[in-house]
Structure 1
Amino acid sequence: MSSERQARLADRIRVLIAERLEKGLRDPRLGFVTITDVRVTGDLQHASVFYTVYGDEKAREDSAAALKAATGMLRSEVGKHLAVRLTPSLEFILDALPENAGHITELLREAQERDAAVAGLAAGAAYAGDADPYVKPREDDEDDEA
């Protein structure tokens, strides 16, 4: 039951923060930020907000500073719309999702190249022994039985 409540609260916090960021903050440093996930602790006292930023490293740094500066205001906004006794503290964490996705894409490309190389070797390969390695009764044994 508690994990369901955590999930509902996390989802609600994600929606509230995303809506607030969509309306805009008065901070010019904030770039194009997407809230990817929110995780709430079991006691509902702390929320880790994962986000991505479209742009280069400078855009990420500027957006991180803007979110850090706006944490109090965003927590107040969340507190107004949640029906909980204590508003959870917010921690903004840059989600490494795009970097991980790029790394996984690179690994998949390497695996595909290796598979193609193995398939090329297998196409021109011949058996090391007989084509049919299973032992069959000799024809001589069949004549002896008759």
Structure 2
Amino acid sequence: MVTRSFNRAERVGGQVQKVLANLIRRGVSDPRLAQATITGVTLSRDLRIAKIYVAAHGGASGEQALLAGFESAKGFIKRELARELGLRYMPELRFFYDASFDYGAHINRVLKSIKINDEKNNPTTDDQ
């Protein structure tokens, strides 16, 4: 059995994600961020750069507005993260749109359309 120890960047990344999710839920008043979800945080080994992956319920159509909202709130977010985490150096925050939810929704729609087509072409009857 192989055990994997988490390095400091992974632990701090998890803390950043948790604090940022709570901050968005309760503290950021920008309406562009109302439906935002933090899908992941990756920190560089030296903890200087935090790549924050975000998604929104609205999908890719609101990607630019979502990223613009995070950019405009970056100073506030950075101050709050620094206050909560107590790190010596606050990492530079970089926001990226995570399209995996959009892709998953697309796959779900494709699978549903296949099921509907299959039911039309191969109807089941209760007489069997």
The answer to whether the superposition gives a TM-score over 0.5 is yes
Aligned match of 1:79 in 73, 77, 82? 82
* Gap runs ≥5 in structure 2: 115-128
Q: Which residue of 2 aligns with 1:59?
A: 62
Asked which structure has the greater RCO (Cα within 8 Å, sep 6+), the reply is: 2
For residues 21-100 of structure 1, the aligned pairs below 5 Å read 21-100=24-103
Q: What amino acid does structure 2 have at the position aligned with 1:31?
A: A
* Residues 52-71 of structure 1 deviation map (CA, whole Å, 9 limit, x = unaligned): 10114443332221111001
Counterpart contact for 1:50–1:92, Cα < 8 Å? yes
Q: Secondary structure at the match of 1:65?
A: helix
Separation (CA, whole Å) in 2 of partners of 1:100 and 1:11:
24
Contact 1:31 1:62 in 2 (8 A): no
Aligned residues: CA RMSD: 2.5
Query: Taking every aligned residue pair, what percent have the same amino acid on both sides?
Result: 29
TM-score if structure 1 supplies the norm length? 0.64
Q: 1:53 to 1:10 in 2, by over 3 A?
A: same
- Tell me, yes or no, if the aligned pair for 2:24 and 2:33 is still in contact at 8 Å: no
Larger radius of gyration: 1
Aligned residue for 2:90, secondary structure, equals coil
TM-score (normalised: structure 2): 0.73
Give the counterpart of 2:16 among 13, 17, 21: 13
Return the offset for 1:84. Answer: 1.9
Matching residue's letter, 1:9: V
